[in-house]
Amino acid sequence: MFYTTFPKIPFINPEFRNIAQFAPPIGFFIGTIQSCIFTFLRANSWSIYASALICLASGYLITGGLHLDGLMDTFDGIFAVKKKRLKAMKDSRVGSFGVQSIIFITLLQIACLLKIQNQIVFVLPICLFWGRFSNLFFIEKFKYISHKKKSFSHKKFWKGFKKESLFSIIFLFIFIAYQLVSITSQAILIKVLILILIGTFLSYSIPNILGNKIGGFNGDACGASVVLVETAMMFMHAILL
């Protein structure tokens, strides 16, 4: 449900075709859970390294590794021959490029968490928000591609970027407003504004690069976009904060 392993919520029966618009706030919620787990472990004398690893592992558990699977499949496809790209992405076996991608991303995320530390409650949720926000750009700009003749896609029921992103944009403005109210110095304000611009740029550019490379979007490419954008945003926060 909502691209997670969360159980069904009573009295709520969402349809898959309408879920994409809610993904960014759900990402923020998942990031909040992960950061709370990290903070709880640190408060109970767990080492920074163990806390970071469990924080990441909890995210994998919540999402079922869905986006990481997409990351590996996408990198296998990108480095395959163009005609065999979709076949490589759908192959159940993981190739060398897929393995390298997940190792690199995992190590980079761990390094970022170790750098962020006490700021994780403010950083991780918004990074996961941007990761999923990138999919809205992805679905808006590119056609859906699949090795199957008949497949179900958000594109079929897409109502346009403005309508599909409205809920996420309102959520983002609320978060930004809270940040602006709580900021205590001009230097921090400038960094926050820069990070917002970077988040917007990465959310648009990364799916654009992936879409042009594979000739469209599918579930794997969307998963890869989520992971790449959120990791890039974690890295930028680690540098600027």
Tokens of 28: 């923020």
Residue 228, in any domain of the structure: yes
* 188-204 average pLDDT score: 92
Residue 158, in any domain of the structure: yes
Residue of 67, 59, 116, 61 whose CA lies nearest to 234: 116
Measure the CA–CA gap between 234 and 116, rounded to whole angstroms: 8
Q: What's the chain's average pLDDT? A: 89
Residue 159, in any domain of the structure: yes
Tens of pLDDT along 99-131? 999 999 999 999 999 999 889 999 999 999 999
Q: Given a cut of 70, is residue 239 above it in pLDDT? A: yes
* 129-145 average pLDDT score: 93
Residue 90, in any domain of the structure: no
Within 8 A by CB and 6+ apart from 25, the residues are 129, 167, 168, 171
**H or E element, residue 94:** none
Please tell me whether residue 200 adopts helix, strand or coil conformation. Answer: helix
Residue 30, in any domain of the structure: yes
Residue of 34, 27, 209 whose CA lies nearest to 112: 34
What are residue 78's phi and psi, to 5 degrees? -60, -40
Instruction: Please indicate whether residue 24 or residue 154 has the higher confidence score (pLDDT).
Output: 24
Total structural domains within the chain: 1
Residue 136, in any domain of the structure: yes
Question: Taking the CA of residue 34 as centre, how many other CA atoms within 13 Å lie in the half-sphere pointing to its CB?
Answer: 29
Q: Rounded to whole angstroms, what are the CA distances from 111 to 49, 106, 140?
A: 10, 9, 33
Structural domain including 137 reads 20-66+110-240
Q: According to the model, what pLDDT value does residue 222 have?
A: 93
Measure the CA–CA gap between 2 and 9, rounded to whole angstroms: 11
Residue 154, in any domain of the structure: yes
Residue of 171, 194, 210, 164 whose CA lies nearest to 32: 171
* 187-214 average pLDDT score: 92
Measure the CA–CA gap between 17 and 219, rounded to whole angstroms: 13
Q: For residue 4, name the pLDDT band (cuts at 50, 70, 90).
A: confident
Residue 201, in any domain of the structure: yes
